[in-house]
A and B are shown apart, each in its own frame.
Chain A
Amino acid sequence: MKRLASIAALLGGGILLAGFGFSSSWWSDEEKATLQDLRLVEGPGAPDRSNRYAANEDAARLGHRFFFDARFSSNGKVSCATCHVPEKNFQDGTPRGSGVGTTGRRTMPIAGTDRSPWFFWDGRKDSLWAQALGPLESAVEHGGDRVQYVRLVSAAYRDQYEQLFGPLPDLSRIPEHASPNGSATARAAWSRMTPAQQQSVNRVFANVGKAIAAYERKLQPGVSRFDRYVDAVVAGNRAAAHAALSEDEIAGLRLFIGKASCTQCHNGPQLTNNAFSNIGVADGPAAPADEGRLAGAHQVVADEFNCLGRYSDAKPGDCEELKSVNADAHAKGQMKVPSLRNVADRGPYMHAGQFATLEQVMDHYDRAPAATLGETEIRPLRLSANEQRQLVAFLRSLSAPLAAEPQWLASPAAPSQPASHPVADRDQRLARSEQ
């Protein structure tokens, strides 16, 4: 009698456990919905309303040329592709970026970012086209100024530019170098320009960004083994599911959506909710404390190239992200949640490349140390070594070759017209005149 009762209890318990999704062989309806939420949505997102050229093929071709043209720099040696290397998922594999100088943060990848509302680790730009303008004028990245670039477009890209955007401005009364950002000389030259001259330069500069953004929209993540697994699960095809992912990878996926709570932030088809989070990753001892989103939120509101600015093609009703931006004190130390697609192929990790390997990332999430700046939003997970290994295995299954036509993944074949004066010479003359 006692034995029968024990067997009955075990059977009842087994049914209870299966009801709570502890069955190791398949997924509940709720879990399937979570998996579908993570499945890649192929192709670019809806065109950014602040860029009327976002889906324009001619703009993409022109932007492709700009992206690989190292004359868009103070020394003639730095193009976008210098740090956003096509063979490396359009990033550089180093903790910080190297242009004419060294940046403070990790170079970010590009594929699939056309859908993101915010750009850079701190979200200080609110469109893909405005983002491109930042590094161009950064003293440690491209090192140049917007007037220099407008002159380059006039000299080397006049026909292509004017066919798309209309006539270039008259540059005869505009200085060689000028910008509201940059050196004291450049800023002084900018302040001597009339508002009309400044706006005409800004408009060309903005269009350069819009062309680059149209090109970058061509770069999308590819369908991964994880996506194939989700398709098989939804179709009820267990054989195809087990052909797509190994048992360890499936176990890692269960942890990802369950015990490890990764989908709190890494949700959606890009495995990011495009929000900001403080997970207590410390800056190096020599590095200044990085306030992240707290600074970025204020900068994006003040940016002349934001959604509400005069160079945006959006109507004010299209700019709700900007109008509802949250710049509260809790944003201190928060960084943008990155996408996890192809994550295994692009270490090191975190905003200054603090972790070389995914194993180190797992260890950080597991221990969840207190933040040195602001408050950490993660708690210790208490994963076993095997569970951490399975999570890493799952993350590897998110890798796939980028979905892009081959021409977009390499430098354009034919060169544009050469500029009439080498840019590097002009900059050396300017540097000498400043001494």
Chain B
Amino acid sequence: MKNLLAAFLSSILLSACMHGRSHAEANTATNRISNAGKYAVAYEPAVQPIPKRQLHAWTVELRDRDGHPVDGAQLRIAGGMPDHGHGLPTKPYVREALGNGRYVIEGMKFNMGGYWVVDLGIESAKGADAVRFELNL
């Protein structure tokens, strides 16, 4: 009886590893507070649900902790798939600052399903900070 239970548990665990299942515990919220608490950051993909293999834009909205939009910020975009040890396939960049704390990032592309992270580095008059978004695709 005990042996049977052990066999079930190990086969479930093994299947999870082999099939590369998404991180069920990931925080996939599209708005988060940055690491040092300086900014509230929200993103909206131009195509939803996020497509595989297709280049698309994200609109990012940046606010300070008082809720005021932050303009004139520099954004750097990095990320990748931590489980596979590779980064983003593209180099996304800020194409346009729309004002009112909104920025258009071009060049987002996810070329496979699974667990991805997108890290935004933020620099503005309010200071430097970073935020990580998690995605299960």
Contact = CB atoms under 8 A, between A and B. Distances in A.
Interface of A: 5-6, 9-10, 13, 16-17, 20, 22, 37, 117, 258-259, 261, 263-265, 267-268, 273-276, 320-321, 323-328, 330, 375, 377
Contact of A16 (B8, B112, B113): B8
Contacts of B5: 9
Given A22-B15, A320-B106, 6 more contacts: A264-B20, A267-B112, A268-B53, A324-B90, A324-B91, A328-B87
- Choose among B12, B88, B93, B113 the residue with the greatest number of A CB atoms under 10 Å from its CB: B113
B18 interface: yes
Nearest to B14: A259
Nearest to B16: A20
B111 A5 contact: no
B4 A275 contact: no
Contacts of A17: 11
Interface residues of B, number: 30
User: Per DSSP, are chain A's interface residues mostly helix, strand or loop, or mixed?
Assistant: loop
Contacts of B8: 13, 16
B4 A273 contact: no
B49 to A, nearest CB: 12
B85 interface: yes
Contact of A377 (B52, B85, B91, B114): B85
A326 B87 CA distance: 10
B92 interface: yes
A323 B11 contact: no
B120 to A, nearest CB: 15
What secondary structure prevails in chain B residues at the interface with A? loop
Given A5-B1, A16-B8, A17-B11, A324 B18 contact: no
A298 B86 CA distance: 20
B55 A268 contact: no
Given A9-B1, A20-B15, A320-B106, A273 B55 contact: no
Given A267-B53, A274-B111, A258 B19 contact: yes
A275 B81 CA distance: 14
B112 A264 contact: yes
Contact of A323 (B12, B85, B89, B93): B93
19 contacts: A5-B1, A9-B4, A16-B8, A259-B18, A264-B112, A264-B114, A267-B112, A273-B52, A273-B112, A274-B53, A276-B89, A323-B107, A324-B92, A324-B109, A325-B91, A326-B87, A326-B88, A330-B87, A377-B85
A406 B87 CA distance: 44
A325 to B, nearest CB: 7
A273 B111 contact: yes
A13 B52 CA distance: 35
Contacts of A117: 55
Nearest to B8: A13
Given A5-B1, A330-B86, A377-B84, A324 B114 contact: no
